[in-house]
């Protein structure tokens, strides 16, 4: 970029100019750069990032257009303990969120941000969450001193002058400020001010903490706005199932972080499912609103995928392997001597020698992992071979099924269906999952993660459940609600279900249930498939007994489960909708 383009705003919006001016005065950057989102700009910024050592250009023969980034080793995942919802009253944020009064948090963050961009560039990053022209689409502007963030936002959002065009002279935009500071955990805060449509993030440079359009705007602020405006902001993938006769059914699914959304959204059906296709609309976030025809419509507000790398290979996720073969930023994987990347679970043998995600020498004898378990790819959705054209449709897609699912070694069957909407909300509200590397701390422990939104709900979780229950009144044809668990294990600790592409079998049962075509048996926990309605063809060696083991409802385990659910309900007691308490009573009465 030339010196002239630096500092020249590409908007005349007075509210924007005034706010940027205030932040410039506070942070005191040496220069200000206004992003336009052009290809030429991206090329220049990539070159600058390489020159500054923020990115390494990967082998262009093997990985054209790909770059490598290593984060600070103290900064590799979301930090839930440093994430705050700053509403006037603590009760609005609720017992599942960290809270601080807005004026105290603003004062603390102003202190940290003051003068913090001396010697640095402040980038103005205007972006859209959602397709241009959609009534659901929101405008955000992120001011950041991280070129890695600018380049990532350019992939993850529709970034550039188009956002200023959609905004016009209005003031309806999310104000995002990101200061890297010295990337120290003691000075790391991700603070949300829902009443001001503002996010301030300091002291980190890791995806979920700093790509402010994603978890901060699209989920935490989004959920807050959704409640006021009558829609849902959810931690859900969106996919389209195409049957051999061309019928398309759209499904949204909420799984906690690193529990299989990207994999399901990009899944390729197994050979036995000839003619079936899965199309991706989104892999992480869904915004859903009742449409004029009485159905629930969903859009994916994002334009790219920030996906888990380890475990990705041509068997588990062939579409993702194509997606990340070009024009991708890799963060915290291992780097080989010929500037290729490697990770645990990649196809082929481990390299004889490479640099691990910290930059230390690594060999197959090393005890530590070469790639961080939460290493990620940042890739544009346009590169997904199975991107649904509907991903750019401003109207979104009508959802027929909502799936909730956690990572559970025991108790929870492969699949079951709720009796009705409120029971489905109960299934989502009581979801449990083993924690993963996507957030700092506690990996492996089962915790309640309602609707996979525990870290992302921008207001009181009890009110969130109420909002979900109330939505039913505005949806004439509500999606059917299901619960799945790909992760049940046997006594030897092996997964009972092959998962990945074979999940198509579960998807097909769900699709058939939505269209009234498949049988189910009633159980105390919901409707379940029987071996006659569930397609096990072409899964050699998988027996009906194994299927029954996967679907088993163990009374002892369920008693424990209901007790664990109660802990969350007690925490939320003052705002818990009574419908959910009744659902619990009904469940107990049935067992």
Q: How far is the CB of 258 from ligand GTP (least distance, A)?
A: 4
Binding residues for ligand GTP restricted to 381-440, rule: CB under 6 A: 438
Closest CA to 460 of 228, 190, 236, 224: 224
Binding residues for ligand GTP restricted to 265-284, rule: CB under 6 A: 283-284
Which CB, 87 or 436, lies closer to Mn ion? 436
Q: How far is the CB of 440 from ligand SPV (least distance, A)?
A: 11
User: Residue 215's binding partner, choosing from ligand GTP, ligand SPV, Mn ion, none, with beta-carbon cut-off 5 to 8 A by kind?
Assistant: ligand SPV
Closest CA to 202 of 191, 194, 211, 192: 191
Which CB, 487 or 527, lies closer to ligand SPV? 487
Binding residues for Mn ion restricted to 234-293, rule: CB under 5 A: 257, 284
* First vs last C-alpha separation in the chain: 67
User: Residue 78's binding partner, choosing from ligand GTP, Mn ion, ligand SPV, none, with beta-carbon cut-off 5 to 8 A by kind?
Assistant: ligand SPV
User: Residue 342's binding partner, choosing from ligand GTP, Mn ion, ligand SPV, none, with beta-carbon cut-off 5 to 8 A by kind?
Assistant: none
Find the binder of ligand GTP among 231, 468, 487, 547 (CB under 6 A): 487
Q: Which stretch binds ligand GTP (CB under 6 A): 37-45, 48-56, 111-119, 307-315?
A: 307-315
Residue 503 touching ligand GTP (CB under 6 A): yes
Q: Which stretch binds ligand GTP (CB under 6 A): 151-159, 396-404, 499-507, 561-569?
A: 499-507
List of residues contacting ligand SPV (CB under 6 A): 78, 207-208, 214-215, 257, 284, 306, 438
Which residue in the shown chain puts its C-beta closest to ligand SPV?
Answer: 208
Q: How far is the CB of 208 from ligand SPV (least distance, A)?
A: 2
CB 245 within 8 A of CB 260: no
Q: How far is the CB of 283 from Mn ion (least distance, A)?
A: 8
Which CB, 226 or 310, lies closer to ligand GTP? 310
Which CB, 27 or 258, lies closer to ligand SPV? 258
Q: How far is the CB of 503 from ligand GTP (least distance, A)?
A: 5
Catalytic residues: 259
DSSP notation for 538-568: T-TT--HHHHHHHH---HHHHHHHHHHHHHH
Which CB, 71 or 121, lies closer to ligand GTP? 71
Structure tokens at 228: 């006021």
Give me the phi and psi of 527, to 5 degrees please.
Answer: -80, 135
CA torsion sign for 33, 35, 36, 39 is: positive
Q: How far is the CB of 306 from ligand SPV (least distance, A)?
A: 5
Could you tell me where the DSSP H helices lie in 132-279? 147-156, 161-167, 207-210, 222-229, 261-265
Q: Quote the radius of gyration of the chain (alpha carbons, Å).
A: 23
User: Residue 208's binding partner, choosing from ligand GTP, ligand SPV, Mn ion, none, with beta-carbon cut-off 5 to 8 A by kind?
Assistant: ligand SPV
Find the binder of ligand GTP among 316, 409, 420, 523 (CB under 6 A): 316
Could you tell me which residues come within 8 angstroms of residue 346 by beta carbon, excluding any fewer than 6 positions away? 312, 313
CB 310 within 8 A of CB 76: no
User: Residue 487's binding partner, choosing from Mn ion, ligand SPV, ligand GTP, none, with beta-carbon cut-off 5 to 8 A by kind?
Assistant: ligand GTP
Could you tell me which residues come within 8 angstroms of residue 2 by beta carbon, excluding any fewer than 6 positions away? none
DSSP notation for 246-290: S-EEEEEEE--TTSSHHHHHT----TTSTT-EEEEEESS-EEEEE
Which CB, 225 or 236, lies closer to Mn ion? 236
CB 453 within 8 A of CB 429: no
> Which residues sit opposite 193 in a β-bridge?
198
Q: How far is the CB of 203 from Mn ion (least distance, A)?
A: 21
Which CB, 215 or 423, lies closer to ligand GTP? 215
Give me the phi and psi of 589, to 5 degrees please.
Answer: -65, -30
Spatial distance between the Cα atoms of 3 and 16, rounded to a whole number of angstroms: 22
Which CB, 58 or 210, lies closer to ligand SPV? 210
Spatial distance between the Cα atoms of 264 and 462, rounded to a whole number of angstroms: 29
Structure tokens at 450: 């309602």
Which residue in the shown chain puts its C-beta closest to ligand GTP?
Answer: 499
Could you tell me which residues come within 8 angstroms of residue 218 by beta carbon, excluding any fewer than 6 positions away? 129, 233, 285, 287, 301, 302
Please give the residue ranges that form the binding site for ligand GTP (CB under 6 A). Answer: 255, 257-263, 283-284, 307-308, 310-311, 316, 438, 486-487, 495, 499-500, 503
Please give the residue ranges that form the binding site for Mn ion (CB under 5 A). Answer: 257, 284
């Amino acid at each position: 970029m030339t010196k002239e383009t630096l500092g020249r705003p590409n908007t005349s919006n007075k509210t924007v100019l005034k706010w940027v001016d205030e932040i410039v005065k506070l942070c005191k950057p040496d220069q200000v750069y206004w992003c336009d989102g052009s290809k030429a700009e991206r090329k220049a910024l990539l070159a600058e990032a390489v020159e500054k050592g923020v990115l390494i250009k990967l082998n262009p023969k093997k990985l054209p257009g790909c770059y490598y980034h290593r984060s600070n080793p103290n900064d590799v995942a979301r930090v839930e303990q440093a994430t705050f919802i700053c509403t006037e009253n603590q009760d609005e944020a609720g017992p599942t969120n960290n809270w601080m009064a807005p004026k105290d948090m603003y004062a603390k963050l102003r202190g940290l941000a003051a003068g913090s961009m001396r010697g640095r560039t402040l980038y103005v990053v205007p972006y859209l969450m959602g397709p241009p022209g959609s009534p659901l689409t929101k405008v955000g502007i992120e001011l950041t001193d991280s070129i890695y963030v600018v380049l990532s936002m350019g992939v993850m959002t529709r970034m550039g002058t188009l956002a200023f065009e959609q905004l016009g002279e209005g003031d309806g935009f999310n104000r995002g400020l990101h200061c890297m500071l010295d990337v120290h955990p003691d000075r790391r805060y991700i603070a949300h001010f829902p009443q001001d449509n503002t996010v301030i993030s300091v002291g980190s440079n890791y995806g979920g903490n700093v790509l402010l359009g994603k978890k901060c705007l699209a989920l935490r602020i989004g959920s807050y706005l959704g409640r006021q405006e009558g829609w849902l902001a959810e931690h859900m993938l969106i996919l389209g199932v195409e049957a051999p006769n061309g019928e398309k059914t759209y499904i949204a699914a909420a799984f906690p972080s690193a529990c299989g959304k990207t994999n399901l959204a990009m899944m390729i059906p197994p050979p036995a499912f000839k003619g079936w296709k899965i199309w991706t609309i989104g892999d992480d976030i869904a915004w859903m609103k009742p449409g004029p025809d009485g159905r629930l419509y969903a859009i994916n507000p994002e334009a790219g995928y920030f996906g888990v790398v380890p475990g990705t290979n041509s068997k588990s996720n062939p579409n993702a392997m194509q997606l990340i073969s070009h024009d991708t930023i890799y963060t915290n994987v291992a780097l080989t001597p010929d500037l290729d990347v490697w990770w645990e679970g990649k196809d082929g043998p481990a390299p004889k020698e490479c640099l691990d995600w910290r930059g230390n020498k690594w060999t197959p004898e090393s005890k530590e992992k070469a790639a961080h378990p939460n290493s990620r790819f940042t890739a544009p959705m346009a590169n997904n071979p199975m991107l649904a054209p509907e991903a750019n449709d401003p109207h979104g897609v009508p959802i027929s099924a909502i799936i909730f699912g956690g990572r559970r070694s025991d108790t929870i069957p492969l699949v079951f269906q709720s009796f009705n909407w409120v029971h489905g909300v109960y299934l989502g509200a009581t979801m449990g999952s083993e924690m993963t590397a996507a957030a700092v701390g506690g990996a492996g422990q089962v915790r309640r993660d309602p609707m996979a939104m525990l870290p992302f709900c921008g207001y009181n979780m009890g009110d969130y459940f109420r909002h979900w229950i109330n939505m039913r009144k505005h949806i004439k044809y509500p999606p059917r609600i299901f619960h799945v668990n790909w992760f049940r294990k046997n006594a030897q600790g092996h997964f009972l279900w092959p998962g990945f592409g074979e999940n198509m079998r579960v998807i097909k049962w769900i699709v058939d249930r939505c269209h009234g075509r498949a049988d189910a048996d009633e159980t105390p926990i919901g409707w379940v498939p029987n071996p006659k309605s569930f397609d096990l063809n072409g899964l050699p060696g998988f027996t009906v007994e194994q299927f029954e083991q996967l679907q088993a409802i163990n009374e002892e385990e369920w008693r424990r489960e209901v007790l664990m659910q109660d802990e969350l309900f007690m925490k939320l007691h003052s705002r818990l909708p009574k419908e959910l308490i009744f659902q619990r009573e009904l469940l107990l009465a049935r067992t």
